[in-house]
Structure 1
Amino acid sequence: MIFNLNAANAYTVARQAVAPSHAASSPTVERLGSAAEEFAAQMAQVDAVSTGAMTGQIETHQLVQTIAEAELAMETVVAIRDKVVEAYQDILRMQV
């Protein structure tokens, strides 16, 4: 019984020690967060324009332009993801 209590207390202390600090976030993390929000907004805009085009409220050329912009944004996100995965794989291959 005492061992379980000690383990729970140790877990509580360790959990606080490794918790991320939101107050000291780096500018890079903030930029990535804002980029993700902009990407989500771009995809929401594509959905709205697509719906408008299907109902006849939005012209076809605007739909094509919005889809082209979304395609560019998607290619950018995929390229960034590929670089992150490549960097992670490089780290895994490092000798310790």
Structure 2
Amino acid sequence: MSTVSFNAYTALNTTRPTDNTQATGKAAADTNPIAEGVSDFRAAMQQAEKTTMETVVSGADPHAMVAALANAELMLDAAVTIRDKVVEAYQELLRMPV
């Protein structure tokens, strides 16, 4: 059996350092809700992929696979809904008279 060796989440994994720091010394990206959401989304997708591969290869618990895939589906639906709202807001800005 051939192994699939691609990672669709590398674009989400790359971060750029920021110059802004808080008084406590933490980077501003640590408290960014968007960065946290992307991180949670990436983690859910990776967990679903890992659980699915374990179930297919070694016959692990199929209920865990279904739960992980359901969680990934919910995360994907939320991400698509947020993306649609952002695009809709951008289109509204384009329609505004200057």
TM-score when normalising by structure 2: 0.68
Counterpart of 2:54, as a letter, is G
State the 1:26 CA deviation. 7.2
Q: Which secondary structure does the structure 2 equivalent of 1:35 belong to? A: helix
Aligned residues: 75
Counterpart of 2:76, as a letter, is M
Residue number among 41, 62, 66 corresponding to 2:64 in the alignment: 62
Q: Which has the higher helix share?
A: 1
Is 1:23 the counterpart of 2:20? The answer is: yes
| Structure 1 unaligned blocks of 5 or more | 1-20
Counterpart of 1:80, as a letter, is I
State the 1:64 CA deviation. 0.5
Partner of 1:18: none
Aligned Cα RMSD in Å? 2.2
TM-score when normalising by structure 1: 0.70
Residue number among 46, 70, 79 corresponding to 2:48 in the alignment: 46
Deviations 1:55-95 (A, max 9, x none): 22521111011100100000000000000000000000000
> Which protein shows a greater Rg?
1
- Mapped partners of 2:53, 2:69: distance in 1: 12
Spell out structure 1 runs of 4+ moving beyond 4 A: 24-27
| Structure 2 unaligned blocks of 5 or more | 1-17, 22-26
